[in-house]
Amino acid sequence: MSDNQAAPAPAAHRTSTIAHLNDALRQHLTQPGHNRVVMTISVQELIGDVSLFRNFRAQAELLRSIRDYDAFGPDVDPHGEHDFGRFEFRGAALYWKIDYYDRALDFGSPDPADPDVTARVLTILLTSEY
């Protein structure tokens, strides 16, 4: 390793950093900055029309469910990155998941622990769509 290259962060610190960044996205779903929050058509249909504030409460409830999610464990979060969750909403089973892309959203992120080179995309989907 040359003198100008930083040593890689220990794995535990790297995982903790990624989990912190993922949690930060979930805490700011309505203002994600350079990150993105998307939902499938099926989830949009579950919520209903939100134009002119119709079903706005349903959308807010859905986003709160993701923001407040804390059921992490080895079955849904085996790597400890807080990048996946399963929950119930209006009688339907849903997942949310976070993927890591480069800032242009063209390729995978070169380093998900570095927010300067990573755009996180949180996708909300029915479990049947996974």
Report yes or no on 95 lying in a domain: yes
Task: Look up the pTM and report it.
Answer: 0.89
Task: Report the chain's mean pLDDT, rounded to a whole number.
Answer: 92
Instruction: Please state the domain count of the chain.
Output: 1
Report yes or no on 93 lying in a domain: yes
- Is the pLDDT reported for residue 10 higher than 90? no
- Alpha-carbon distance of 12 to 49, in angstroms, equals 43
- Alpha-carbon distance of 78 to 91, in angstroms, equals 26
Report yes or no on 2 lying in a domain: no
Report yes or no on 22 lying in a domain: no
Chain segment 63-120, per-residue pLDDT in tens: 999 999 999 999 999 999 999 999 999 999 999 999 999 999 999 999 999 999 999 9
| Closest of 122, 80, 81 to residue 99, by C-alpha | 122
- Is the pLDDT reported for residue 129 higher than 90? yes
Report yes or no on 60 lying in a domain: yes
Q: Which domain holds residue 60?
A: 34-129
